[in-house]
């Protein structure tokens, strides 16, 4: 989550979906954002200002002045205060007013005064959403540089089924978080990441593999994509799902498959992270039919697979960064440093099976990062998502230096 300390202004307009604004505000506060709420008069027909005031821990505003105490609610100050404005729900009327500059309430005045990114989350009936006038207003607002969090498909208040349901608050939070995660230094970068195990077939039903879950590589892919980088993930077999639709996912099975895909794309990328647990050996002969059990012993002849990181590291281009992983059980630093040099890497991420909670299958990891100059950084046990952010920050710092 990248919302801690961010100032978010939530605009609420008059829709039955306004009740979801309560959960949105609650989630923003939980993410440690500072939240202000501006409502239209119509919105107050669906949810009370008191509810949103209690949840946001700030007064809720809807008029230019407070008749009780005579205070002026300065729309310019509100627009300049916010790091981002999200109008949720955004009705067809509100979209039209913002698109045409029809500034007749506090919310539209704040919108016109803002210099920060604006996010609209539309909510309306399906025919209203698809009407040419609404589509034209959305196109106009997008041409101004505003962003849209598209509505969901489902049953609407009218009883019709279609587009128009306000995006769930969790989806809005994800969109805002992704916005603040973007780093200018990362948006022009291309990143190639390998993840998961490989499987080496013995016969049509049996194979050799390892205990890698792919969780670390997937977390790294999500972190770099959120930063704005263009990410390709080459993954061995795993049940994991990618949540960021911008990540290009290429699924492979064996070490030779992974080498073929990775080597084909290697030169196109500014950063390559070898997080996959690639099999070191593969059966020399693969049976066409299932091998039947015979006798008390079976001899399986193996041959080395291609060392993907080592082979590609020898062709590293100038300015390209390579990061490898080392999972060790003894002489950890010695083996990791040797691997770092042999494979021509810029960094190696070491984790030890001797550390509880680290290594395969866990949701946590404890890493040590060593660079090619033998500088060492130790990190505490963290979730793999947090570890991915540590790795991201190391790379961002390196890119910023350049």
Instruction: Break the chain into its structural domains and give their ranges.
Output: 7-181, 190-401
Residue 80 pLDDT more than 70?
yes
Which tens digit of pLDDT belongs to each residue from 332-381?
899 999 999 999 999 999 987 777 766 666 789 999 999 999 999 999 99
Q: Residue 155: what pLDDT?
A: 87
Binding-site residue numbers are 280, 290, 325, 339, 343
Q: Residue 245: what pLDDT?
A: 82
User: What is the fold of 190-401?
Assistant: Rossmann fold (3.40.50)
Q: Judge if 7-181 and 190-401 fold alike in CATH terms.
A: yes
pLDDT band (50, 70, 90) for residue 69: low
Which tens digit of pLDDT belongs to each residue from 291-343?
998 888 889 999 999 999 999 999 999 999 999 999 887 888 999 999 999 99
Q: Which of 210, 269, 365, 375 is catalytic?
A: 210
* Active site (annotated) includes residue 136: no
What pTM was computed for the model?
A: 0.71
Which tens digit of pLDDT belongs to each residue from 153-198?
988 888 989 999 999 999 899 889 888 888 889 999 999 999 999 9
Q: Residue 76: what pLDDT?
A: 85
Q: Residue 67: what pLDDT?
A: 60
Average pLDDT of span 261-276: 98
Q: Residue 363: what pLDDT?
A: 84
User: What is the fold of 7-181?
Assistant: Rossmann fold (3.40.50)
Binding-site residue numbers for CTP are 280, 290, 325, 339, 343
pLDDT band (50, 70, 90) for residue 68: low
Residue 7 pLDDT more than 80?
yes
Q: Which of 311, 306, 301, 241 is nearest to 278 (CA)?
A: 306
């Amino acid at each position: 989550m990248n919302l801690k300390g961010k100032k978010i202004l939530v605009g609420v307009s008059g829709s039955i979906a306004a009740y979801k604004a309560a959960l949105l505000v609650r989630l923003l506060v939980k993410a440690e954002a500072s939240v202000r709420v501006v409502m239209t008069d119509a919105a107050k027909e669906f949810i009370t200002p008191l509810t949103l005031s209690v949840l946001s821990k700030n007064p809720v505003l809807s008029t230019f002045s407070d008749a009780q105490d005579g205070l002026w609610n300065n729309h310019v100050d509100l627009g300049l205060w916010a790091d981002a404005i999200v109008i949720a729900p955004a009705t067809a009327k509100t979209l039209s007013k913002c698109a045409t500059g029809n500034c007749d309430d506090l919310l539209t005045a704040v919108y016109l005064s803002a210099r920060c990114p604006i996010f609209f989350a539309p909510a309306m009936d399906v025919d209203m959403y698809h009407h040419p006038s609404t589509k034209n207003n959305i196109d106009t607002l997008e041409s101004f540089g505003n962003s849209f969090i598209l509505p969901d498909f489902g049953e609407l208040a009218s009883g019709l089924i279609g587009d128009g349901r306000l995006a769930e608050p969790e989806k809005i939070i994800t969109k805002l978080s992704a916005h603040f995660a973007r780093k200018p230094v990362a948006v022009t970068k291309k990143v190639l990441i390998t993840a998961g195990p490989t499987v080496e077939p013995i016969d049509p039903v049996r194979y050799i593999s390892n205990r890698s879950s792919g969780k670390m590589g997937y977390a790294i892919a999500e972190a770099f994509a959120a930063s704005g980088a263009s990410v390709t993930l080459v993954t061995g077999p795993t049940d994991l799902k990618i949540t960021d639709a911008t990540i290009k996912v290429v699924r492979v099975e064996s070490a030779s498959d992974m080498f073929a895909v990775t080597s084909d794309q290697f030169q196109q990328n500014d950063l390559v992270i070898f997080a996959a647990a690639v099999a070191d050996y593969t059966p020399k002969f693969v049976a066409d039919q299932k091998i039947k059990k015979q006798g008390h012993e079976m001899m399986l002849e193996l041959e080395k697979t291609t060392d993907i990181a080592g082979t590609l590291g020898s062709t590293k281009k100038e300015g390209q960064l390579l990061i490898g992983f080392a999972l060790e059980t003894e002489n950890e630093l010695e083996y990791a440093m040797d691997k770092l040099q042999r494979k021509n890497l810029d960094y190696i991420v070491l984790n030890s099976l001797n550390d509880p909670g680290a290594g395969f299958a866990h949701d946590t990891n404890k890493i040590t990062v060593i660079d090619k100059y033998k500088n060492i950084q130790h990190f505490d046990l963290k979730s793999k998502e947090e570890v991915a952010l540590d790795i991201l920050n190391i790379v961002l710092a390196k890119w910023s230096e350049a």
